[in-house]
Amino acid sequence: MSQPLYDDEFEQLFSRAQVDLPPHLKARLMTIPHLMPQPTFWDLRWIVPVASLTPAIFWLLITKLLPLMGIVTGGFVSWAKDLVLPVLPALSMPVIGICVSIFLASISFGIWIYWNSESRITLVYGRYLTGRL
């Protein structure tokens, strides 16, 4: 009866059993940086969400913070209301600001989901580019 395998035998066995990275898989892996660019300064993934908060920030600034700081903003507020309310008379400025924010936030969320989707790479690009489908 044979003796049990020892550590050296295991090492030899595992070493010989190693396989190379298949070329088509290597090609798939190399596409990842092209399909998933890292965020840069002008990346929409952070610019759009931040921009979506702009109306709310302006509303807060004009109606709450500036008066608190003693800055007279009555004329500016009435100018802003005159600009918007003739078009949407039933809505107040806060409601308009919140609606615009939600709208832009939903767009930015959609962009974020799309750009970060792993399935986009796995299902569409990775296998397609290397002829696996």
Partner 1 sequence: MDSLSDIEIIEQFQAGNYGEAFRNLVEIHGKTVYNIALFTLNDEVLAEDATQDAFIKIYRNLGKFKGQAKLSTWMYRIVKNVCYDYLKKRRPIALADMEIEMDPASDEGSPEEVAMSSWQHEELRNAIQQLPAKQRIAITLYYFQDKSYEETAAIMGQPLNTVKSYLHRAKATLAKSLDFALGEVYEPATV
Please report, as ranges, the residues that interact with partner 1 according to CB under 8 A: 1-7, 9-22, 25-26, 28-30, 32-34, 36-38, 116, 118, 121-122, 126
Residue closer to partner 1, measured from CB, 29 or 50: 29
Kindly state the smallest distance separating residue 109's Cβ from partner 1, in Å: 18
Of the chain, the end-to-end C-alpha distance in Å amounts to: 49
Residue 105 · residue 49 · CB < 8 Å: yes
Nearest distance, CB of residue 50 and partner 1, angstroms: 19
Nearer to partner 1, 98 or 129 (CB): 129
> From residue 111, how far is each of 16, 33, 43, 46, 56 by CA, in Å?
46, 18, 11, 10, 21
